[in-house]
Each structure stands twice: as C-alpha cells, then as structure tokens.
C-alpha cells in the first residue's frame, strides 16, 4: 500500500494576475484524517481544487494516489464535496444519488448505504431544495461517499450543522479512515482541529504548520489551536 495518498511539492497557483498559493508542500498519509484549517480566503478551496484536478494554472507537483492530479484514471477514485452543496435541487436525495451512482458505475444498492451513513434515511424521498442547509450538505456528502473512494476531499462539510451531527460526521470520517480511506477536511472553525489526526494550518496562501494537533500545541506552548495559530503567525512575522 502506498504511504502517501497525496503529495504536494512547491505548489503555486495563479488566479487572474494574483498568485494565491505560494509554494505549498505537504503529504497526506494514507488512511489518515487531515484538517485543512485557515481563515476564509486563505486558499483552502484553491488547494483542494488543485488536488481534485479542477484548478487551472497550477505549477509544481501535485500527486494523488500515485498519479498526477487530474489524471483520467483518478476519476471516480476521489470523492469531492464542494463548499456549496453540489446536488440537484429539483430532484430527491435518492434520485440525486442514483444518478451519481450511475455515472460512477456503482450499483444502486450503494445509495441506501450512503444515505444511512449521513443519517438522511427519513428524508431520502424529499426534494433537495426543500431540505434545510445542513441536510442539503449531507446529501452532497452522501454523493461523495458513493463507491467508497480511496480519497475524500471535503470542503467545509460541517458548516451550519448542529453539534451532535458534527460529532457523528467526524466519527464517520474516522470510520472511513479506519477502513482505509484518506480524508482531507477543510474548515475555518478552529475547534474542529482536535478531531483530526493531522493539521495543515494555512494563511495567505502559505502553510504555517503541518503537524499533529498535540505537537502543534506543544511547539506553540498554548492550550488551544486558535491561540497556537496566532503564535505561529507572530513567530513568522518576527522571523522576517
């Protein structure tokens, strides 16, 4: 089994005439849950889009499951959840999932499994545009779970969910990782950090830290991630 599910080396992304990622390096260990944390606008979504192969003007090396990002052979092996729920509002949850299952070539029996996994069974036959925001994003997450992809890239999947559901979803993420999937989960909520095996802290298109939550707190000498984040920013400014 390969050691790293994702490897980024000196990844630079230009959008318009602005460089938004300035040479990002990191590895995602296979079978781990990694949090990509940072304020809104720091480049999390751009980095995620580079990994799933949808971002234009990427230089440097992005390798995913041993292949260059965006390689046709990767299609269907990555589950991707965009920030806005990417499901069809005028179809029911089940209709949406049956469609994506057909595109993936996954048996439609898988639909029931993923609906259960995100706890939407009671709303399986409801139209997506009649669901709450949280239910809609869970429908979108369910679509990414179809076919049990090796890599799951989730862009802020827990925004707006109640604490119980958030806990359940994080438990689900760890179950998936235990079963062998690799997860990259972005969030701008720092208190989700403790739920990750590893953390990538990002600010202004650069990685400030790539560490386990425990070691991060230890090296920053603080007791919470938000404080550690500030300490790292200050240290960086001091070093300049």
Partner 1 sequence: MTPRVTFAVAARVLAQLRRDHRTVAMLIVLPALLVSLMWWMFTDSPMVFDRVGGPLLAVFPSIIMFVVTSVATLRERSSGTLSRLFTMPMGKLDFLLGYALAFALIAVVQALAVVSIALYLLDLDIQGAAWQLGVVAVLDGVLGTALGLFASAFAATEFQAVQMMPAVMIPQILLCGLLVPRDQLPTVLHAISDVLPLSYAVDAVLGVAKGNGFTTATGGDTLVVLGFILAALGLGAATLKRRTA
Residues that bind partner 1 (CB under 8 A): 15-16, 49, 52-57, 70, 72, 74-76, 78, 80, 82-91, 95, 99-100, 102-105, 127, 143-144
What are 32's two structure tokens? 């781990």
Q: How far is the CB of 1 from partner 1 (least distance, A)?
A: 22
**Which CB, 38 or 85, lies closer to partner 1?**
85
In the structure encoding, which two tokens stand for residue 224, read together? 């919470």
Nearer to partner 1, 24 or 78 (CB): 78
Q: Min. distance of Cβ 102 from partner 1 in angstroms? A: 4
Nearest Cα residue to 237 out of 206, 213, 200: 206
d(CA 179, CA 182): 9
Q: Are strands 78-81 and 4-15 parallel, antiparallel or unpaired?
A: unpaired
**Of the two residues 88 and 194, which places its CB atom closer to partner 1 in the complex?**
88
* Residue closer to partner 1, measured from CB, 144 or 209: 144
* DSSP state for residue 121 in the 8-state scheme: G
Give the closest residue to 202 by CA, choosing from 5, 30, 2, 8.
8
Q: How far apart are CB 86 and partner 1 at their closest, in Å? A: 3
- Residue 194 beta carbon to partner 1: minimum distance, rounded to whole angstroms: 29
The pair of structure tokens assigned to 170 is 């994080």
Q: How far is the CB of 228 from partner 1 (least distance, A)?
A: 32
CA distances from 134 to 13, 63, 96, 156 (A): 31, 32, 16, 12
Closest approach of Cβ 36 to partner 1, in Å?
A: 17
Residue among 133 and 230 whose Cβ is closer to partner 1: 133
Which one, 23 or 88, has the nearer CB to partner 1? 88
**d(C-alpha 138, C-alpha 119), whole Å:** 8
**Least Cβ distance, residue 128 to partner 1 (angstroms):** 10
Query: What 3-state DSSP class applies to 99?
Result: helix
Kindly report the length of the chain.
240
HEC per residue, 176-210: HHHCCCEEEEEECCHHHHHHCCEEEEEECCEEEEE
Compare residues 84 and 112 and give the one whose CB is closer to partner 1: 84
């Amino acid at each position: 089994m390969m050691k790293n599910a994702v490897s980024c080396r000196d990844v630079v992304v230009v959008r318009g005439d602005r460089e938004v990622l300035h040479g990002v390096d990191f590895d995602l260990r296979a079978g781990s849950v990694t949090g990509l944390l940072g304020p809104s606008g720091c480049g999390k979504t751009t980095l995620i889009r580079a990994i799933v192969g949808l971002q234009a003007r990427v230089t440097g090396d992005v390798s995913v499951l041993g292949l260059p990002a965006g390689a046709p052979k990767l299609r269907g092996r990555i589950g991707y959840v965009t920030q806005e729920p990417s499901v069809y509002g005028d179809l029911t949850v089940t209709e949406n999932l049956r469609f994506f299952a057909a595109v993936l070539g996954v048996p439609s029996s898988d639909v029931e499994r993923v609906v259960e996994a995100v706890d939407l069974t009671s709303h399986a036959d409801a139209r997506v545009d009649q669901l709450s925001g949280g239910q809609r994003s869970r429908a979108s997450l369910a679509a990414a779970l179809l076919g049990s992809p090796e890599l799951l890239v989730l862009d802020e999947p827990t925004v707006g969910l109640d604490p119980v559901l958030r806990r359940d979803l994080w438990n689900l993420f760890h179950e998936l990782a235990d079963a062998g999937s690799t997860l990259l989960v972005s969030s701008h909520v720092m208190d989700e950090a403790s739920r990750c095996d590893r953390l990538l802290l990002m600010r202004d298109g650069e990685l400030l830290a790539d560490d386990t939550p425990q070691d991060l707190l230890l090296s920053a000498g603080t007791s919470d991630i938000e404080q550690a984040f500030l300490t790292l920013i200050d240290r960086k400014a001091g070093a300049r």
